[in-house]
Amino acid sequence: MENKSISFNFSKCYNLQTNGIAYLGAISSWLSSQGILVSYNFNSMNKSVTNAFKNVGFLQKHFHNHFENEAIPSTAIDFEQFQGDIRSEVELNNRVIKYITDKWLSQNNILMMPKLKDDLKSKIFELFANALEHSGSNLGCFCCGNNTTLSKKQELTLTLIDLGIGIAESVQEYFKERKGYLLENNIEALKWAFEEGNTTRESQFGGLGLALVEDFLDIADGSMEVYCNNVLLQIKGKEKSTDFIPYNFQGTIINIRLHPTDGRYGYKDEFT
């Protein structure tokens, strides 16, 4: 039987952001897992698109034979794939923590006092843990980010993607199995998932509560978007909104953007 193949052509792609790279990486991995040969048409990429891929190490890692001499920038928030049981595999746990603290929240990107950085790291870690524990995807999760300057304003981004069942559907399954009923709709399910203290874990430890993240988004002029199933959660500073979207994304995409200013972030008592 003839092997199936697919080639990505970028002739009509003029600019590529890191959330697009994370999604391409996830889709390419899924296609490969289905026995489909995946290739990228490098000649169809303009310089901007090629550099976007190189700046997060995507081409160097996945097409090593073609880009083995291209160095990954030391400040890169690399494209990565994490797979496994994050609660029992110490090495995986440590890799995720190292990625958050040494890549995204590195001192090259944002200055933070130790206690706030540790607390924020724990909350971002829960987003990764949820993708690895509850998505039901054997592919795990995919992520990358960027630190750039737009109109003299720093922008620090992070995208996290899994191709599992989606946070909203995961919550609905939890309610059906444990409580015997479903929430009114997926918007209510997504809201429940991100309320402080709520978790689908039997241990009742952890959860996706975003109180600290919301406070930090507010002071760092940041925003967060969560796409899953047929719903969207948006946080901009202290404002939060949810809505239905006109398509059903099988999985979860989380986009975080910060616009840090000069100076160091921390709790008040860390400066006394």
Q: pLDDT tens, 167-214?
A: 999 999 999 999 999 999 999 999 999 888 887 766 555 556 678 888
Tokens of 140: 């795990």
How far is it, in rounded angstroms, from Cα 80 to Cα 29? 12
Residue pLDDT, tens place only, 110-163: 999 999 999 999 999 999 998 998 888 999 999 999 998 888 899 999 999 999
Name 150's bridge partners: 153
- Average pLDDT of the chain to the nearest whole number: 91
With a cut of 50, say whether residue 1 has pLDDT above it.
no
Residue 252 pLDDT level (bands cut at 50, 70, 90): very high
Report which of 158, 123, 154 is spatially closest to residue 144, judged by C-alpha positions.
Answer: 158
189 neighbors 228 (Cβ within 8 angstroms): no
Taken in order 110, 111, 112, 117, is the CA torsion positive or negative?
positive
HEC-encoded secondary structure of the chain = CCCCEEEECCCCCCCCCHHHHHHHHHHHHHHHHCCCEEEECHHHCCHHHHHHHHHCCHHHHHCHHHHCCCCCCCCCCCCEEECCCCCCCHHHHHHHHHHHHHHHCCCCCCCECHHHHHHHHHHHHHHHHHHHHHCCCCCCEEEEEEEEEECCEEEEEEEEEECCCCHHHHHHHHHHHHCCCCCCCHHHHHHHHCCCCCCCCCCCCCCCCCHHHHHHHHHCCCEEEEEEEEEEEEEECCEEEEEEEEEEEEEEEEEEEECCCCCCECCHHHCC
Neighbours of 3 (CB within 10 A): 7
Q: 43-64 pLDDT, tens per residue?
A: 999 999 999 999 999 999 888 8
